[in-house]
Amino acid sequence: MAVRKSGLGRGLDALIPAESAVQGYTSIPLDAISPNPQQPRQAIAAEALQGLAASIREVGVLQPIVVRHGEEPGTFVLIAGERRWRAARLAGLKEIAALVREGDDTSGLAEALVENVQREDLTPLEEAAAYRQLLEDCGLTHEEVGARVGRSRPAITNTLRLLQLPASIQGLLAQGELTAGHCRAVLALDDMAYAEELARRAAEEGWPVRRLEEAVRARQEGLPPPVRVRRERPAEVLALEEWLAERLEAPVAIEYGKRGGGRLTVRFGSLEDLERIYRALLGD
C-alpha cells in the first residue's frame, strides 16, 4: 500500500488554515528534522510506535508536528510531535507535514486547533487527531479540551478512543465503509484480531450499527458468531474476477462495500509466484 504524505480529506487545511495564528505549515523531509534535546519524554514504547506507524500507512498523518528552524539552513528542531516523527520514519515516509514556528512558543497552536474543530466538518479521525494534539502538544486535559470545544469530557474520551483502533479498522472508517458508531462498538472487544474480523464483515455485508453491537455482545457472552450473509455480486464483477484470475494464473477475489470502496486480493504461493504475477501485470 502506498504511504500517504498527508492526512485525510482536507487534512491540514481543515485543521490549521493559512489565516490562523500559527505562522504556517509545510512539508519537511524527515531527515532534516532533529529531536529536541530538551524533550522531557525519554522513552517511547516500541509497541505504541509500531501501532502509530501502521495507522500512518493506512490513513496518513492526521496531525502536523511543530518545529522551529535549526542552526543550519534547511534544518529544523522538533518542538512537539516526536512520536509522530518517529512513527512516520517507521512507516516509510520521506516527508511530514509540520507547523514552523519561531522559537519554542506554541501558544497560538491551541487557539488555532480549537477554532477549526468548532467550525469545520472534520472526519471522526481528524477530530480525534485534533483532540490528541491538544492533549499532547498543548498540555490540556480531557476536561479542558471539552470546555474549549463545547463537548463533554466523556465525548472527548470516546472520540479519542478511535485512535486506539487497529489500522485496518481506521482505514475502513476513513474510506466510509464504517461509521464512528461501528468503530465504537468493536472497541468494547478485548480481542482486537476478532474486532478486525467483525469490522471487515460489517463493511463487506453492510451491517447496521445495531447488528454489529449484537455481534460484539454475542462474543462477550460466549455465543456463536453471526451467520455470514453473502451479498449477490453483479455478473460484471464475477466476470472481471474470473478474467483476472486467468490472466494472472492466481486466485483473485474482489470485495466491495455498499458505499463504493473495496478490496482486490491476489493470492500467491511463494516469492517466485509473486514475481511471476508482477511480470504478468507488466505484460512481460
**Residue 180 · residue 173 · CB < 8 Å:** yes
**Residue 66 · residue 137 · CB < 8 Å:** yes
Amino acid at 265: T
> By three-state DSSP, how is residue 25 classified?
strand
**Residue 39 · residue 82 · CB < 8 Å:** yes
> By three-state DSSP, how is residue 243 classified?
helix
Give the DSSP per-residue string, 46-58: HHHHHHHHHHHHH
Gap between the terminal Cα atoms of the chain: 23
The cell numbers describing 65, all together, are: 508536528
How far, in Å, CA of 108 to CA of 59, rounded? 27
Q: Which of 58, 72, 82, 143 is catalytic?
A: 82
State the DSSP code for 230. P
Helices (H), 73-208: 82-91, 107-119, 124-136, 142-149, 153-160, 167-174, 180-186, 192-205
Q: Catalytic annotation on 58?
A: no
**Closest by CA position to 215, among listed 195, 231, 230:** 195
Which residue numbers are catalytic?
Answer: 82
